[in-house]
Structure 1
Amino acid sequence: MNSDNRAIVHMDLDTFFVSCERLIDSRLVGKPILIGGTSDRGVVASCSYEARLFGIHSAMPMKMAKERCPDAIIIKGNSGTYTKYSNMVTEIIKEAAPVYEKTSVDEFYMDLTGMDKFFGCLKYSSELRQRIMRETGLPISFGLSPNKTVSKIATGEAKPNNQMQVSRGTERVFLSPLSVRKIPMVGLKTYQTLCNLGIRKIQTLQDMPVEMMESALGKNGKMIWTKANGIDNSPVVQYNERKSISTERTFDRDTIDIYKLTAILTAMAENLSFQLRRAEKVCACVSVKIRYSDFQTQSIQKRIPYTAADHDIIPLVLELFKKLYTRRVLVRLIGIRLSHLVNGNHQISLFDENSKLADLYSAMDTIRDRYGDRSLVRASGLEARTIGRYNPFKGEPPMLLANRRV
């Protein structure tokens, strides 16, 4: 369907982590709040609007943030709490929206195309926003327009805790006075490149020939130019909580070697965690499966706070395996599945860690991207000699990562 005929809503929970903490402790309302690693070497995962007035932003070193706002209240954060409230909002939207896409723990798209005939999309979206605030206590903003890009930018302009509609035909006028930094996919590096070209406002992009942007930035230049002109035909992709990635190992010879089994599970979990981070996703459920030599198959799973960190997933996998492996007979197959995936930064689970751990993950993943998934592994996982390098998030259904015999 042409984007001009669509009604797309983008909803975003305002300063989500901070809002959750304020629900727990009302004394935090109106005060500058920093959430993240509490040591000087920690990083800011989220901050309140009051803290932003001091120039503080997410990913800033905590030491620098405290220097800018000495009176800020620092909270380590609790990913379990944030997962709980994210799920509450998801359930409300799931019930109300015909098609919805959950793009992170605090961000949603909805396609309300055709509902104007019955409700009026703006009225329906506004009532849904009021319901979310009433039932969860969380502030939330939304933008409504004919496409995802304009709606997302409109949400940003509506914040904090408000709403905005951009009517069909007014997209370019709405976008033109805004900074090019507002365009999704324009990160800091691209923004600096555009500034060097004398491009700071979206209107400048709108007035440029698309060929000039292609010449300067290649394929991305054309995409940025298209978004700057308020054009985006991308669909709202129905969210499915059962979406998962998994990997299995079938043995040539059935085994009872616990050392070998735990080593392979460690390597498998480590690789799946890396695949999540590479795709910028986090999971909320971990499952382990065993098939014995008599083909009896058993599995166990556990819901967890959203994460893609090795140090969260690997110990849980080994714990589940220990609970599951009770027959003490030969094992034919073992498998791991990570499910309930959403887009998100794996640092959501690193509130209690310092920035060195986040830097370590980044360095490890960079090495694997360049030299291969098995170029850097834990010593405890060396027993697993083969781990598939197939990326489940590119071009194939993300249900099966690998099924190899070892």
Structure 2
Amino acid sequence: MSDPKPYIVHFDLDSFFVAVEILLDPSLKGKPVIVGGSAKRGVVSTCSYEARKYGVHSAMPMQTAMRLCPHAVVLRGHYEEYGKYSALVTDIIASKVPLYQKASIDEFYCDLTGMDRFFGVSQYTRQLREYIIKETRLPISCGLSSAKFISKMATNEAKPNGFLEIPHGKEKDFLWPLGIEKINGVGKQTEQRLRKMGLHTIRDIALTPKDLLISQLGKWGEDLWRKSQGIGSGEIEQHWEQKSMSHETTFHDNQLDTDFLHRKLVALTERNAYDLRQDNKLTGCITVKIRYSDFETTSRQEAIPYTALDDELIKKAKMIFDKFYQQGRPVRLIGVRFSQLADDGMQMDLFNRQHEKLNLYKAVDAIKNRFGKTAVSKAVTSGPKNESKK
């Protein structure tokens, strides 16, 4: 029996941050909206299609954006709301497909391979997209094909708020007329090198000997050739609900000292955040677990704006702990778990210097990797070691 044909869907919430802002304030609809820092500082996180007509784009300095579109509405953004709507879309997708990958706060891959035996995959994808729009009131584009990269490119061609299917056997018909800049991962430098080689369309790449591409571009040259032939991966990582990172501590002696418990909570959160960054992940949900001396165990979780930063995570962990810890009850164990994980390439709060902070934490991580995890630690985490770790 031959393997079933792969069916990969890519979903992308259009101008996600702006779309959420419009839900919060409908008067913004149809206006050039920029989510980013102040008009004088920071960078553009995302912008509406009306602002894009003036040449504004993500990661552009705000001063440049304001020169291009001086009448734009500039918003600092409601990042907790973005997290809530992202979680809502994720829950819908999780309930409707057998396997999915949350690639970022606003981007998903779904594997519908095998479903063609029971459903029309194209019709099912259309219905799922329409259901997401109905339930969230957010615009979302999607592509359906045999491979992840083709589906993502189909989504890009379907924007805004559209659907495009590339049938099996029609991959080259879709890809070959497109410009080389349309290939995922081709930046300005690679584009310039390809154009110097006389390659301007994906068809040009496909008709170039593979060995020549490899000699000029190394492994990336081989990857480009394979993509130009419509050959790509359909592998979907297991969805984030089955992924989490956690650490917990059981004390030799039951503890009542809130300051002591705070120190251990900070240490556990730091360890989780370190693991998070080692895997190049962000978390969108944090859970604090408490087991009392009588073995009653309780936990509380809260959705958070996606991050991998110690200070943000520690602040939220302590807040959750303080909310539900029953003062005066001896504690036997505390734990911290991160879930709803996503790749750290997703959009972050750029103008709040998250990227600079993340790079700083990663530099500290590098020191820990070289000299040991205890080489650098916060003063608040130091204290008597009277617990066992799991």
For the superposition of Structure 1 and Structure 2, which TM-score range results when normalised by the shorter chain?
0.7 to 0.9
Confirm whether residue 125 of structure 1 aligns to residue 122 of structure 2: no
Q: CA offsets per residue over residues 326-380 of structure 1, 9 Å max, x none?
A: 46577554321111223355763x37x544x532332332452366366654443
Contact 2:144 2:151 in 1 (8 A): yes
Confirm whether residue 361 of structure 1 aligns to residue 358 of structure 2: yes
TM-score of the superposed pair, with normalisation by structure 2: 0.84
**Deviates further, 157-166 or 37-46:** 37-46
TM-score of the superposed pair, with normalisation by structure 1: 0.81
Contact 2:256 2:330 in 1 (8 A): yes
Could you tell me how far apart the structure 2 residues matched to 1:194 and 1:370 are?
39
**Deviates further, 158-167 or 207-216:** 207-216
1:6 to 1:187, Cα distance in 2 relative to 1, 3 A: same
Deviation at 1:314? 0.6
Could you tell me how far apart the structure 2 residues matched to 1:361 and 1:316 are?
17
Q: CA offsets per residue over residues 41-73 of structure 1, 9 Å max, x none?
A: 222211111111222221222222222211110
Deviation at 1:33? 0.7
**Deviates further, 87-96 or 49-58:** 87-96
Let me know the Cα RMSD of the aligned residues. Answer: 3.4
Could you tell me how far apart the structure 2 residues matched to 1:99 and 1:282 are?
20
- Number of the residue aligned with 2:100: 100
Contact 2:37 2:76 in 1 (8 A): yes
- Three-state SS of the structure 2 residue aligned to 1:265 is helix
Could you tell me how far apart the structure 1 residues matched to 2:246 and 2:219 are?
33
1:134 aligned partner, one-letter code: K
Contact 1:277 1:346 in 2 (8 A): no
Confirm whether residue 343 of structure 1 aligns to residue 340 of structure 2: no
Confirm whether residue 29 of structure 1 aligns to residue 29 of structure 2: yes
1:222 to 1:130, Cα distance in 2 relative to 1, 3 A: same
Deviation at 1:274? 4.2
Contact 2:290 2:299 in 1 (8 A): no
- Number of the residue aligned with 2:43: 43
Deviation at 1:221? 3.8
- Number of the residue aligned with 1:392: none
Could you tell me how far apart the structure 2 residues matched to 1:190 and 1:382 are?
49
- Three-state SS of the structure 1 residue aligned to 2:9 is strand
2:153 aligned partner, one-letter code: I
Confirm whether residue 302 of structure 1 aligns to residue 297 of structure 2: no
Over the matched positions of the two proteins, sequence identity in percent amounts to: 39
Long gaps (5+) in structure 2: none
Could you tell me how far apart the structure 2 residues matched to 1:96 and 1:129 are?
11
Equivalent residues, number: 385
Deviation at 1:250? 4.5
2:366 aligned partner, one-letter code: D
Deviation at 1:111? 2.7
1:204 aligned partner, one-letter code: D
Contact 1:205 1:225 in 2 (8 A): yes
Q: CA offsets per residue over residues 191-213 of structure 1, 9 Å max, x none?
A: 55555655553223322333344
- Number of the residue aligned with 1:389: none
Contact 1:248 1:333 in 2 (8 A): yes
Could you tell me how far apart the structure 1 residues matched to 2:95 and 2:207 are?
42
1:2 to 1:375, Cα distance in 2 relative to 1, 3 A: farther
Contact 1:364 1:376 in 2 (8 A): no
- Three-state SS of the structure 2 residue aligned to 1:276 is helix
Contact 1:102 1:342 in 2 (8 A): yes
Could you tell me how far apart the structure 2 residues matched to 1:97 and 1:54 are?
38
Could you tell me how far apart the structure 2 residues matched to 1:41 and 1:173 are?
44
- Number of the residue aligned with 1:75: 75
1:305 aligned partner, one-letter code: I
